[in-house]
Structure 1
Amino acid sequence: MSLRGADWLARSIAQSGQSHVFFIDAVLRPTLMALEERGVQPVLAHSEKGAAYMADGYARLSDRPGIVAAQSVGAANLAAALQDAYLGRVPMIAMTGRKPPSAQHRNAYQEVPHTPLFAPVTKWGTAVEAASDLPRLFRQGWAAATTAPPRPVHLDLNGLMGEVVEQGASGAEPADLSGWTAPRHRPVADAAEIEKVAARLRDAGRIVILAGDGAALSGCGAEVLAVAEALQAPVATSLGARDMLPSRHRLCVGVAGSYSAPPANKVVHQAELLLMIGCDGGDQVTHGWRLPHPGAAVIQIDADALELDRLPAELSLHGDPRGTLKLLLEALGQPQRDAGFAQEAARLMADWRSGMAPRLTNNEAPIDPARLCAEISAALPQDGVLVADTGYSGIWTGTLVDFNGSGQRYLRAAGSLGWAFPAALGAKCAAGDRKVVCFSGDGALYYHLTELETAKRRGIAVTLVVNNNRGFGQGWPNLVRAAGNRPEVAATLLRFGEHTDFCALARGFGLHSIRVERPEQIGPALREAMAADETVLVEVMTGIDHRAPEPWTPEASE
């Protein structure tokens, strides 16, 4: 007997290894009930953005498509929420309902043509008119989401809640797509082109490797380090690739670009040849396209053909970074390389760390977020996951939290403020027993405070660290200067009230919370929170005048 669309969808999602799906009612109700019967947990969120960010975090940690659904009236909100996943190269399947064709263009209640809203933030999308179309189009969407570059796809289902597709006959057996994880295919570059790159690298002067989000997705940390060792080349990363290398490795100089500590940009700027591995060349990682030095040669390795030659490249290799780097290592052999430049880069890094050391042990209050980062580095388990928001949260954690380059993971917002907390909940759904720590500013947490209720109801355990400086700290000094050095004027635009008690709010949702007002309290609070089997909010009272590391910027003449 042919399966109904709802049964086909539920069985296929379950057989494909998904543990959770995320949604806002009212959509796909029969499917969601059938999923729960098969052990897949439907997670009801409090907004379409919250649901999408949960699916995003789930996908980033599992490499499986995050599945999110909303009814027609919420489709516009859901589309807006996919921007971060699109920019972050995250596989997702977003499903929406829409009223049937007979209700279109007739001022139907809550209905607008929402499909165009998904075009800028999805890789592929289509309408699913009948249940018989669902097996083919769902499979195609899953494939599109997981092939390089992985990104969201959109399936627009016939029926306000998708009921036309759910109730019809699918005419197909359930699909098992469990082997289709991102990146699904790993083609390697042409052997002759790899030989050309190897020859160029053997003869080059100061080489710097810049590994980006595509390299992190490929999981090529070991190969990057092996190439770096062979070439005696310092390695900088994008913010999204922060966790792929051991932070304390002698060749690692940290995050390059706008969210950088000074040494990385200095080292990249000194390169005679920049080897870009899975790195997009956008304005953030190049600090507004001021890196590398205009005279530097560029060689690129990327699985995404559209990323090749955005910066003028001398040579480019189209292939999965991990597989291509393995062949490049063989082609390089054991070149004789001068280690002087790598040693100089290591000294720059050591000097900067030495200068920052007093802040990492700062015992003053309000608490310096640098001290908070040091305590997170010490407390994060060997397989722990740190989820960070955008803005100052990304800068603090990207420059001052150390990672082991193996079991630990770092997930960061690609630019959407408020992303981190719901994303951390989704990541925990994929993490199993691994500990998940969320680093959020107070301004970011205000976006999705209601998901504390979701954490409690679904029993999702994350350590939610709130860096509470009672305002938007990143732009604070600039606004104070613009206001004529009158903080009381600037405060009307960037400061929050002093009466919000995040700990009390957490308790109101039935969760445990810990308020930290002294630096020596941070470590014990983190360990207590991580030991719990539920979400614990750790509110850390920091100062808005504490400045995160600032990137080094080359002079215009350099």
Structure 2
Amino acid sequence: MLGHNRTKISGAQCLADMLAGYGVSHVFMVPAVLRRTFYEMEKRTNIKRLHIHGEKAAVYMADGYARATGKPGVCMAQVIGAMNLAAGLREPWFAHSPVIAFTGGRLPETKFRKVYQENDDMPTFEPVTKFNATVDDVTRFPDMVRQAFRAAVTGMPGPVHLQFRGNEGQIDIEEAEIEPLVEPMFSRVPPFRPQPDRDAVISALEILHKAERPVIVAGGGVRHSGAGPEVVALAEALQIPVATSHNGKDTILGSHPLAVGVVGTYSRESANRVVNRADLVVYIGSETGGMTTHFWAVPPIGTPTIQINIDPEAIGRNYPFQAAINADAKATVAMMLALADRSSAERRKAWVAETRHICAQWRAEYEPHLTSDAVPMRPERLCAELTRHVPDDALIVADTGHAGMWMSHMFDLTSPKQSYLRCAGHLGWAFPAGLGAKCGVGGRPVVVFTGDAGFWYHIGELETAVRWNIASVTVVNNNGGGSQSKRGYDRAYLDPEGDDRRRELWTYTQQNFAAIAQQIGAMGIRVEKPSDFPAALTKGLAANRPVVIDVVTDIECLAPLAVS
């Protein structure tokens, strides 16, 4: 809502009105920061302000909220917690998630005088933000907050940071003749859809029509753009197999005959084999980074590519291209679909049959593990149970490390109403991110998958979940260790008699997380047999309160390594 009348109001009143105008429903913070703003929020808006236990977890909650809703997630901390907030922003920076961080900052009159807890935090935010600025005068509240929202959601989305003067941002108590102007179009991703050049689309299609073994790799940009239906429609029209990055996993259902799985390092073997057999790779919304390409081995550099990305710097960064389109993914694929020569699909019958055979081989190889009744439970069986039993409208949140490897390889989405969020690199992200996602999606089921190594990072936020009644369901793959580290320590410790010494570097004392959850006030369910998991998940989803399902799994099971 743009207006023209200025009256004398406080920075807190201005900020509270602007956050409400941008549709913010939750703020995740560690006290004490912008206290008067919270007071004004309570008087004037319905924004929930959640006091939690750690700055990194505050970022991760805002990140989960942002990825689940497409709206900027807002997190806050005072000056002494600012660097912890910056450390957390690495995750949404990697994932291109629109997170807005507010912190307190130094007072000009006390700089360089060794004031308690004071430091210059601004350089810390520079590598992990699109926009990093100070608000030193109350008259700048309106334009700086608008710029924060614009920067967060435009182009390739990403985090931003505003530092408000005063260790707790006390500038918000000052008054001035200011107006809380809001630009609603910047309240979610994407605010603009840059249209593709028609000639560039025609050039790309000419190359694509001639390809006999093309494959589409759908990246996180497909998710940001909401281009999944268009990508699947193009694949069906031209009979092109579809691999995804882990961030783009919910582009296509696992049961779709053209789906080959997640490609790269945390991947499904069938996807890597298909991409390496392709004579053309069409990257849509992908930065062709190390994880998606298994460090540029899948496919080998030199493989012909078409690249579609909203960020011009991402095009050609790692692979030479035969055609490139700098535009919004949804708009581009829609135009490709309108101009495509569907008769070219005929030349790919053999290719599609080959990719189905590759996928069938993968399924046959892992079927014994996916259906195993072994106790302790195998993680493959756990992922298979999640595939079968998560609700049709569930939002699934997966951690990194072995949790990410298991889920990218063994879990499939089964309904177009399901969504999938994965950690971009920081172990422990999934549990707090799931809490933030649940805040954003309300009554929709949120199921988190993490391991005990990941859950330990932010286990204190169980109390946060209980206090604010955030009813996500967290499934803990509890094998008593950080088993992704096992192979590395086995390589490092050359002494064959040193098994106990190297093992203690990646194993923990066994704990019952269900009992811990119960003690804190959440629902805790312990699962020790595969056949007990479906009932546990059903019970947890019906509880309408925070739930931890502690699944005892086999520590000797290691996630399969990527093939290239």
Give the TM-score normalised by structure 2.
0.95
Q: Is the 8 A contact 2:154 2:192 kept in 1?
A: yes
Per-residue deviation, 1:204: 2.0
Q: Does 1:412 align with 2:419?
A: no
Match of 1:556 in 2: none
**8 A contact 2:395–2:420 mirrored in 1:** yes
Q: How does 1:27-176 map to 2 (within 5 A)?
A: 27-37=33-43, 38-169=45-176, 171-175=178-182
Q: 2:196 aligns with which of 167, 189, 195?
A: 189
Q: State the AA in 1 paired with 2:509.
A: G
CA distance in 1, matches of 2:267, 2:216: 15
List per-residue Cα deviations over 1:178-205 (Å, max 9, x = no partner). Answer: 6531121111211111111111111122
Contact (CA 8 Å) 1:9, 1:174: kept in 2 or not? no
Post-superposition CA distance 1:97-152 (Å, at most 9, x none): 11211111221111111000001100111111111101001001100100121000
Per the alignment, residue 400 of structure 2 pairs with 390
Would you say how many aligned residue pairs link Structure 1 and Structure 2? 552
Between stretches 57-66 and 502-511, larger displacement belongs to: 502-511
Partner of 2:483: 473
Per mean C-alpha deviation after superposition, the further-off stretch among 120-129 and 540-549 is 540-549
Paired letter, 1:519 = P
1:252 equivalent among 256, 259, 282: 259
SS in 2 for 1:148: coil
Which range moves more in the overlay, 28-37 or 138-147? Answer: 28-37
2:507 corresponds to which of 488, 491, 495: 495
Deviations 1:158-197 (A, max 9, x none): 1111111442325114525365311211112111111111
1:14 aligned onto 2:26: no
Identity of matched residues, %? 39
User: CA contact under 8 A between 1:471 and 1:496: conserved in structure 2?
Assistant: yes
Letter of the aligned partner of 2:105 in structure 1?
Answer: R
State the secondary structure of the residue aligned to 1:53: helix
Q: How far apart are 1:248 and its partner, in Å?
A: 1.0
Tell me the SS of whatever aligns to 2:369. Answer: helix
Deviations 1:507-556 (CA, angstroms, capped at 9, x unpaired): 22111201111111111111101111111111000011112233212xxx
Please state if 1:541 is matched with 2:557: no
Match of 2:327 among 319, 329, 339: 319
1:272-291 superposed Cα distances (whole Å, 9 cap, x missing partner): 11111111111110101112
Partners of 1:101 and 1:520 in 2: how far apart? 63
For 1:64-112, what per-residue CA distance to the aligned partner results, in whole angstroms no more than 9, with x for missing partners? 1100110001101000000000000100110111121111122111111
Please, which runs of 5 or more residues in structure 2 have no aligned partner?
1-6
Q: Are the equivalent residues in 2 in contact too, given 1:145–1:152 (CA < 8 A)? A: yes
1:467 counterpart SS class: strand
Distance 2:502 2:420 in 1: 33
**More divergent stretch after superposition (171-180 vs 466-475):** 171-180
* SS, match of residue 205 in structure 1: coil
Which stretch shows the higher mean deviation, 289-298 or 426-435? 289-298
Find the residue that maps to 1:312 and give its secondary structure: coil
One-letter amino acid of the counterpart of residue 548, structure 2 = L
Q: Is the 8 A contact 2:527 2:551 kept in 1?
A: yes
Q: Distance in 2 between matches of 1:107 and 1:173?
A: 35
1:17-47 alpha-carbon deviations (Å, 9 max, x no partner): 1111110101011111222332110011101
Whether 1:444 and 2:444 are equivalent positions in the alignment is no
Residue 323 of structure 2 aligns with an amino acid whose one-letter code is L
Contact 1:245–1:404 (CA<8 Å) still a contact in 2?
Answer: no
Provide closer, same or farther for how the CA distance between residues 492 and 101 of structure 1 changes in structure 2, counting only shifts above 3 A.
same
* 1:197 maps to amino acid: A
Residue aligned with 1:2, SS? strand
**Letter paired with 1:22:** F
Query: Counterparts of 2:388 and 2:235 in 1: how far apart (Å)?
Result: 27
Match of 1:432 in 2: 442
TM-score under structure 1 length normalisation: 0.96
CA contact (8 A) 1:270 1:293 kept: no
SS at match of 1:494: coil
Moved over 6 A (4+): none
User: Which AA in structure 1 matches 2:533?
Assistant: I
User: What are structure 1's unaligned runs of at least 5 residues?
Assistant: 554-558
Q: CA deviation at 1:465?
A: 0.8
CA distance, structure 1, for counterparts of residue 444 and residue 371 of structure 2:
27
Contact preservation (8 Å) 1:303, 1:320: yes
- Asked if structure 2 preserves the Cα contact closer than 8 Å seen for 1:128 and 1:157, the reply is yes
Does the 8 Å CA contact 1:122/1:153 hold for their aligned counterparts?
Answer: yes
* 2:150 and 2:186 in contact (8 A); partners too: no
1:5 equivalent in structure 2: 11
> Which residue identity does 2:296 align to in structure 1?
W
Task: State the match for 2:3 in structure 1.
Answer: none
Matched residue, 1:421: 431
Quote the residue 2:369 is aligned against.
359
Bigger Cα displacement from structure 2, 427-436 vs 203-212: 203-212
The yes-or-no answer on 1:371 pairing with 2:377 is no
Deviates more, 1:504-513 or 1:534-543: 504-513
Aligned counterparts of 1:166 and 1:246: Cα–Cα separation in 2:
51
- Counterparts of 2:251 and 2:8 in 1: how far apart (Å)? 46
> How much has 1:2 moved relative to structure 2?
2.2
1:396-424 deviations in whole A, cap 9, x for unaligned? 11121111352111111100011011000
Determine which of 284, 287, 291 is the counterpart of 1:284.
291
Contact 1:207 1:231 in 2 (8 A): no
- Counterparts in 2 of 1:231-270, with a 5 A limit? 231-270=238-277
